[in-house]
Chain A
Amino acid sequence: ILNVEQSPQSLHVQEGDSTNFTCSFPSSNFYALHWYRWETAKSPEALFVMTLNGDEKKKGQISATLNTKEGYSYLYIKGSQPEDSATYLCAFYNQGGKLIFGQGTELSVKP
């Protein structure tokens, strides 16, 4: 059984706050780690796909790091805006092609 855990489950911040979430995944049979942004009533959209230990990716004010040896990834949002409110999903990808999602972190940014 592949276990992908995300924390916290939900987060409420004020506009301008910086925040981060954690994704834990199995450290064996690692192939890739995905991050997705999922707005209510829409489909998930990819943020990052990370494959190498130590990888760091950045897209605007959002960045992510990857530690495959200990099995975790962090997603950071610098200076959160109300439009960043969404559920952020990570997904673990093994060599067999199976992509398993965590339960998500629901972010709410108040003006």
Chain B
Amino acid sequence: NAGVTQTPKFRILKIGQSMTLQCTQDMNHNYMYWYRQDPGMGLKLIYYSVGAGITDKGEVPNGYNVSRSTTEDFPLRLELAAPSQTSVYFCAGGRANEKLFFGSGTQLSVL
């Protein structure tokens, strides 16, 4: 099993550009999450999904969109990149009452 795989690992965007961060898992996780790492703030929840076809907003959803058309994939879309979206993004998967498995992270800079 590859676990939770995120791509790309690094990306530089210009203000106003759009991009999709990919996340895929082969562990049959129902629940999937997108977090961003803000200095001194730990991990902030952007969006989450409890199953295919179901998504919900987290703490900081503005400027992002997600979809969950399959159990395996949970892409995160940035439509109009802004400098405030410069961060490290983590995707994670798991099941109810079980630990999360995290991807290796995507370091995004918006200049």
Cβ A43 vs Cβ B102 within 8 A: yes
Of the candidate stretches A13-21, A44-52, A61-69, A76-84, the one touching chain B is A44-52
Is A107 in the interface zone, CB < 8 Å from B? Answer: no
A51–B95 Cα distance when bound, in Å, is 14
Cβ B45 vs Cβ A43 within 8 A: no
Chain A interface residue bracket vs B: 20 to 34
Total contacting residues, chain B, CB less than 8 A: 25
Is B48 in the interface zone, CB < 8 Å from A? Answer: yes
Q: Mark A63-105, 1 if CB is under 8 A from B, else 0.
A: 0000000000000000000000001010101001111111110
Is A32 in the interface zone, CB < 8 Å from B? Answer: yes
Q: How distant is A53 from chain B, measured CB to nearest CB, in Å?
A: 15
